Amino acid sequence: MHQLGYTRFITTPHTMMHRYPNTQESIFRSLDTLRNALETAHIPVTVEAASEYYLDEHFIRFIKEKNLLTFGNNLVLFEMSYVMPPVELDMIVSTLQDNGYTPVLAHPERYLYFHANPESYAALKQIGVLFQVNINSLGGYYSKSVQNAAKTLMKHGWIDYLGSDVHHFKHIDALSTTLKGGIIDEVTKNNTIRNNLL
């Protein structure tokens, strides 16, 4: 990632209690390990940590307990099922906002049920949800339909943040190819990307 030009990272490991039961403590422990390894390897980057929360009953509890790892100005990154639309999403967004958080939906372009109903994106924007789109989605890594959804968001000026969503080296290879294609310049023509404000 540093060879691609990245110098600052906000990592967002999953918090999904049935699969990735992370806590603030476990994430900060791993952050310390990573920072020490970077220092030892003399890789000049800075790393911070938040989390990407899966929308489930545990998430609601974390919100009410004000026990969320945020980034920026109390931004909370969350994700949902890719295939089943969430129940009472408006209520969950409102609960986040009522507790002082700003909701950021991870990879909105990857939720299949939004593809046939792009008005859903507009509705979420209207209630104050910010969108973080995966760079690799814009490059067509996941599928043509996901790429088309990402480009729809780009065309409407609805992209607020760009994320790498890197989980392994195959993702980094795809990211390198996508970045070389000039997609960032295309996105910034019609979208106010806020990454540099974090």
Query: pLDDT for 142-188, tens place per residue?
Result: 999 999 999 999 999 999 999 999 999 999 999 999 999 999 999 99
φ/ψ of 76, rounded to 5, equals -120, 120
Q: What is the pTM of this model?
A: 0.96
- CB-based contacts of 24, cutoff 8 Å, min separation 6: 67, 69
Token pair for residue 51?
């989390």
Domain ranges in the chain are 1-81, 107-198
Q: For the structural domain made of 107-198, what CATH number should be given?
A: 3.20.20.140
